[in-house]
Structure 1
Amino acid sequence: MTTLPPEPTVPSDPEPHRHRQVAESFGVDAERYDRARPRYPDGLIERVAAACPGGDILDVGCGTGIAARQFAAAGCRVLGVEPDARMAEFARRTGVDVEDGTFEDWDPAGRSFDAVVAGQAWHWVDPVAGPAKAARLLRPGGRLTVFGHVIAPPSPVSEAQIDALRRVAPDSPFAVQGPSSASDAVAIYEAMFAKFVEGMRAVDEFGEPEQWRFEWERSYTRAEWLDLVPSTGALTRLSRDQLDEVSARIGAAIDAVGGSFRMPYVTLAASASLTA
């Protein structure tokens, strides 16, 4: 089984937060992003909300507001910060309060929060400045929690995408062979989250970080998967013709496995509470 390279980052790059052109490409089709991207496990949302007695959450890199709306439904008051104006505007239309800007440069104007969260976004934040700023924004006992999905479709599907990218965009950093198994893909993401933990440990105000893992599954039809893949970092910057060719090849691979597939998801999280 071959899985996709880690979707959130530029493969093999130790500093993905410097790739602003990728980080700010997801808004090219914000409606698709919001429609197709998977939501976060209820257990994760409930765990963060339960540890947030004051109810005020700052959502870093909130995108179209997927996690923000889930936290709001759990009874929290959420403010989003988002560098892509297209994503931010979509989130506002869904009822999310959003301010524009990167987290590092955003001015909190004296405000503080019970929790700072980042879903599928913390890798775009400076690994030193980000945790330090989160600590300054948190109230006593507040918690920083960052989380994201491991996306590992069946081998024929991921291989078709990689082969297609090699044809239409051979210079793409994503046109590389992915991990050889789903467990290898999880290990790559776990290494990324280990770096997040290191960043939290470097801030004296945080206690020892915790790492959480949520496992779940969902089925994808051909149409559903082809709706999701253009929203991933590997494809957001392709031309329409390039995207059409990649989608055709992925679609043919899904047809060959019966027109649908069931995919196991792993959602990882790293979390630390303010002690000082």
Structure 2
Amino acid sequence: MSRRPPPPEAAEAFAAVYDRAAPASLAARAYRLPAPALAGYSTLADRAADGIRRAGAFGEPEQWRFDWSRPYSRDEWLDQLPTQGDHSRLPPADLAAALAGVGAAVDALGGGFTMEYTAVVVTAALSGDA
């Protein structure tokens, strides 16, 4: 699954928060990076499909892609944020500062924003010969 970056104004605000609160964290870099390319995930899916073919026990693999959006309120985003990346390794004071800053940034965006997601799936039916 690939989470695309939040809207540009949210990404900029979040990057500024992490630059202050946890400059050495993955999040400090993540909000400054370009959107993860789905091509990278497609490469992984292609490898999985090749492995399925080599196993010889399945029919032809198929790749499916699912795109969706999810709106987040301030509280919903803050509830799940500590589970992302290296947040669990931040010192408690740094995590608290990051959460406070991100919360303020989401408030400044009107109290919420929408994230875009994509999932790429490889599937194949078990062959009758197996």
Q: Same fold (TM over 0.5)?
A: yes
Q: Size of the alignment, in residue pairs? A: 125
> Could you say which residue in structure 2 is the equivalent of 1:212?
64
Identity of counterpart residues, as a percentage? 39
Gaps in structure 2 of 5+ consecutive residues: none
Shift of 1:245: 1.7
Whole-angstrom distance in 2 between the partners of 1:169 and 1:202: 45
1:273 counterpart SS class: coil
- Please, which of 68, 74, 85 is the counterpart of residue 222 of structure 1? 74
Which string of whole-angstrom CA distances, capped at 9 and with x for unpartnered residues, describes residues 152-194 of structure 1?
Answer: 3222333444444444251x455423224xxx54344333433
Moved more, 258-267 or 158-167: 158-167
Which string of whole-angstrom CA distances, capped at 9 and with x for unpartnered residues, describes residues 223-256 of structure 1?
Answer: 1111122111232322221211222222222122
> Could you say which residue in structure 2 is the equivalent of 1:63?
none
Shift of 1:264: 3.0
On the 8 A contact 2:14/2:105 being kept in 1, the answer is no
Structure 1 residues 209 and 263, CA gap change in structure 2 (3 angstroms): same
Which string of whole-angstrom CA distances, capped at 9 and with x for unpartnered residues, describes residues 25-56 of structure 1?
Answer: xxxxxxxxxxxxxxxxxxxxxxxxxxxxxxxx
Whole-angstrom distance in 1 between the partners of 2:28 and 2:79: 20
Gaps in structure 1 of 5+ consecutive residues: 1-147
Shift of 1:200: 2.9
Structure 1 residues 201 and 162, CA gap change in structure 2 (3 angstroms): farther
Structure 1 residues 243 and 200, CA gap change in structure 2 (3 angstroms): farther
Moved more, 152-161 or 255-264: 152-161
Amino acid at match of 1:233: G
Alignment of 1:1-276 (within 5 A): 148-167=1-20, 168-170=22-24, 172-176=25-29, 177-180=32-35, 184-275=36-127, 276=130
Whole-angstrom distance in 1 between the partners of 2:12 and 2:55: 41
Structure 1 residues 244 and 270, CA gap change in structure 2 (3 angstroms): same
On the 8 A contact 1:162/1:175 being kept in 2, the answer is yes
Moved more, 238-247 or 194-203: 194-203
Whole-angstrom distance in 2 between the partners of 1:159 and 1:189: 25
Higher helix share: 2
Structure 1 residues 202 and 169, CA gap change in structure 2 (3 angstroms): farther
Provide TM-score, normalisation by structure 1. Answer: 0.39
Q: Which has the higher contact order (CA 8 A, sep 6+)?
A: 2
Structure 1 residues 174 and 254, CA gap change in structure 2 (3 angstroms): closer
RMSD of Structure 2 on Structure 1 (CA): 2.7
On the 8 A contact 1:157/1:253 being kept in 2, the answer is yes
